[in-house]
Structures are given as C-alpha cells and as structure tokens.
Amino acid sequence: MRDMNHRMLVQEAIRLLEPSIQKLLSEKAKRRDMHVVVMNPTLKPWDCPFEEAILMEYSFTDPTVWENPYDEMAREKARQAWRAGRSNVESHLLAPATLKDGDLAFYGSFEHLGVIVAASGVESWFDVLISGWIAVAVQQLAQAEYQDFKTKTPMARFIG
C-alpha cells in the first residue's frame, strides 16, 4: 500500500464502470456528453488551492462537440463540494444559504467518505448517479488495497 496511487484507483474505477456509464448516457440521459472531476481525498481546502487538489479529470466524449463547457461546469460542482465537504446537491437542496455569489446553479457531485466526484453533461440527477458510482468504487478499491496491505504486512504499525 506504500504511496497508494489514487489516480490509478480512479482509472480502475472508471474502467470498471464505463460500460454502465455509457449505457446510462445512451439509454436514459438526454445526451452522451460527460466530464468527470475527482478530487484528491487526502487534500482539504486548508491544505492547498482547489486546482492543486484536483486528482483527475476524464471526458467520456469529445469536448470539441459539446454544446456547453461541461468540463468547467464539473470543476465548479467539484469546487462547491470540496469547499463544503459534502455533495453539492445537499448545498443546493438543503443548505442554499451556504452557496456563494458566482457558484454554479446546477448540482451534480457526490461525496462518499471523503471521496468527492463531480460530473457534468446530462441531467443533474444522472450527474449525481455517475459521480456516486465513481466515488463508491474508488473508496472500495482503496479498501481492497488496504486489506491486501494489512494481510501482507500484519506487523506494520504505519501505512506506507
């Protein structure tokens, strides 16, 4: 588990989930455009600027044909979630007093036990679903690595 590679976990999560995401985009969503932003779960707003905390971004379609800047929108959803430490759907629907001037008026992020993912390109509820799938997958893939580390090094007192 030495220096757990979070980027590799995200890539693996997306690889595993891409067939389901593509099926959702083609069968349920109003378009196939999708951009995802994943925040580094080890960095918090007091640690660094937002841009430095972005772990990875991924586009499921060609950004040059998008009708809107879904990459920028996903980053803004991620910024809201990262700032608040919770899914931005919670801020929009339950805590609108926490929104700031200039915040994007759409939700579409998910926070799962410290893993924040934001998506943009389709209906907000599907953005949340895709973000949630990825966030849960990343956390559980990390759990698998962590358990493997503990099995292989049962006497280790510290991670890494």
- Longest CA–CA span in the chain (Å) reads 55
User: Which pLDDT score, from 0 to 100, does residue 38 have?
Assistant: 98
Q: Tell me, yes or no, whether 142 lies in a domain.
A: yes
Ramachandran angles phi, psi of 110, nearest 5°: -150, 140
| pTM score over 0.85 | yes
Residue 16 sits in a domain of what CATH number? 3.30.450.150
Q: Tell me, yes or no, whether 100 lies in a domain.
A: yes
pLDDT tens per residue across span 12-61? 999 999 999 999 999 999 999 999 999 999 999 999 999 999 999 999 99
Does residue 122 have a pLDDT over 50? Answer: yes
Q: Strand order of the sheet with strand 115-120? A: 54-59, 35-39, 115-120, 109-112
Does residue 4 have a pLDDT over 80? Answer: no
Domain limits for position 31: 6-151
Q: Tell me, yes or no, whether 125 lies in a domain.
A: yes
pLDDT tens per residue across span 132-157? 999 999 999 999 999 988 898 888 77
Residue 43's nearest CA partner among 100, 87, 83 is: 83
Q: Per-residue pLDDT averaged across 117-144, rounded? A: 97
Q: Could you give the CA distance from residue 120 to residue 138 in angstroms, rounded to a whole number? A: 19
Q: Tell me, yes or no, whether 156 lies in a domain.
A: no
Q: Tell me, yes or no, whether 160 lies in a domain.
A: no
Q: Per-residue pLDDT averaged across 117-122, rounded? A: 98
pLDDT tens per residue across span 76-116? 999 999 999 999 999 999 999 999 999 999 999 999 999 99
Concatenate the DSSP letters of all residues of 8-33 into one string.
Answer: HHHHHHHHHHHHHHHHHHHHTSS---
User: Which pLDDT score, from 0 to 100, does residue 56 have?
Assistant: 96
Tally of domains in the chain: 1
Q: Tell me, yes or no, whether 1 lies in a domain.
A: no
